[in-house]
Structure 1
Amino acid sequence: MAGSRLLMSMPLHAITEVYGEAGLRDRFLLEVEGFPPADRECLVEALELATRLHAGDRRVREPYLNHLLRVAIRIIRYYGIRDVDVIAAALLHDAVEDHPAELSGLAADLGHAALTEAAVAELARRFNPRVAELVRSVTNPEYDPDRDKNEQYRMHVAESLDRDPWARVIKVSDFTDNGVGVVHTTADKAVRSARKYRPLVPKLRELVGRPDTPLSRAARDHILDQLDLAEERFAALLD
């Protein structure tokens, strides 16, 4: 494994390519090294839970956990956020959507709405209600099969982020990983992602610019640059 100074200087996708999940885990632990002990303990617990829930999940060429680690690290390093609830929710942002039965301990055939509520309640019990509600805000609902799925996704994102400023922080990091990172996947997946995410860029720009979005000017500028880069990559794929 690389030394700490090198690992802290590397872009997140470079760590992924060279060192994989182990490198991203080490980078995450380095990022939270200076946090108060209770906060570090909470974040390690969130990482352990995400690891268990997503143990069998893959994201094209990599373990799904890599994505969750990058989203959380980006929030700390590039957005300057040290709010432990937000970082824990970032690690767990797909837990309710992807693994509600495993998280809640209930039968998988119980029904989408009931499983979602039970999974959110379990996060509130394990962590606190704020972490649970942040995860809820970035959890996609059950879509109407008779309507365009991508359009429903974009409507949900706009509505949920409109009412939850802190959830915007998690979603823009998630979007950056999917959008700017579109060049780190297969060609077919890249085109599908570009079609899904490209129409969302103007809305995210608007949300990032709102006065109630809890980001510094430097973080906002960084995110807007990343949205520009994502849009360039979407255009290269689709135009």
Structure 2
Amino acid sequence: MELPPYLATMPMHAITEMHGEAGLRERFRLEIKVFDEKGQQRLDEALALASRLHRDDRRSREPYVNHLLRVAIRMVHYYEVRDVDVIVAGLLHDAVEDHPAELAGCEEASGADELSVSDQTGAALEVLAERFGSRVARLVAAVTNPPWDPGRDRNEQYHEHVAASLEREPWARVVKISDFTDNGVGVIHSVGPKVESLARKYRPLVPVYRDLVTRTDTPLSPAVRRHILDQLDLAEERFSAILDQPAHPA
């Protein structure tokens, strides 16, 4: 597949629509040239692991790995992140939540599939710590949702978890904001009845992220903060367009 030379400047969803996973992988390869050889090797290893874990996962009309690539690319290109651990955590931010048993078994951890969900999560985080360092594992843990409590509203529990876990991990905020941007601003690229449920899930988090991104300990430049706030405005506009339309007359 021959990819165009202007790929490095194309919006990511345009790359997704026109060139798919191959285009995003090429854009990722171009972006990580800002890191030294050791950093690039770690990022390639993280992407390989994420690709293996999510190989059968789909996100609306596309492979799930596209989402992970966009989260990572956004942090390098738009957020100006030059911390390899943070980009690795971005690539693996859903690995523990979605595939804890498989991840725990990647290092031949015996009986991983027989562990409780909590034990699987702990074992999976241990594998990440062994392979990529304790800081990466800590960042991934901060953006990993706990098991749903059937006695609670699912979205309410999710919102409380996001606010609490990001309170103490400034760099995890950066990962989660990139994830939210892909989910929120990108909601118009989803299809089917899930669009409305996603908008209802994410809309209440806009003020939470506004607060987090403007905190003095959030490690982003003023220009990047302004960019993210603009993206949050756009997400809010799209949520309103989906959820606040007047009912059609019968």
What TM-score comes out, normalization by structure 2 length?
A: 0.94
Aligned equivalents of 1:34, 1:152: Cα separation in 2: 38
Q: Pairwise mapping of residues 173-188 of structure 1 onto structure 2 (< 5 A)? A: 173-188=178-193
Structure 2 match to 1:89: 89
Aligned equivalents of 1:107, 1:63: Cα separation in 2: 26
Residue number among 179, 201, 210 corresponding to 1:205 in the alignment: 210
Structure 1 match to 2:42: 42
Q: Pairwise mapping of residues 137-148 of structure 1 onto structure 2 (< 5 A)? A: 137-148=142-153
The residue type equivalent to 1:95 in the other structure is: A
Note the residue ranges of structure 1 that are not aligned, 5 or more in a row: none
- Identify the structure with bigger relative contact order (alpha carbons < 8 Å, sequence gap 6+): 1
Shift of 1:170: 0.3
Point out 4+ residue stretches in structure 1 off by more than 3 angstroms: none
| 1:103 and 2:98 aligned | no
| 1:55 and 2:60 aligned | no
Name the SS for the 1:142 alignment partner: coil
What TM-score comes out, normalization by structure 1 length?
A: 0.98
| 1:74 and 2:74 aligned | yes
Note the residue ranges of structure 2 that are not aligned, 5 or more in a row: 106-110, 245-250
- Which deviations, in whole Å up to 9, do the C-alpha atoms of 1:94-141 show, x marking residues without a partner? 000000111111432310110000000000000100000000000000
Aligned equivalents of 1:125, 1:212: Cα separation in 2: 28
Shift of 1:143: 1.4
Shift of 1:3: 2.8
Shift of 1:2: 2.4
Structure 2 match to 1:230: 235
Aligned equivalents of 2:71, 2:194: Cα separation in 1: 19
- The number of residues matched between the two structures is 238
Return the index of the structure with the highest Cα Rg: 2
Structure 2 match to 1:13: 13
Fraction of identical pairs, as percent: 64
Name the SS for the 1:81 alignment partner: coil
- Which deviations, in whole Å up to 9, do the C-alpha atoms of 1:3-57 show, x marking residues without a partner? 33x1011000000000000000000000012310000000000000000000000
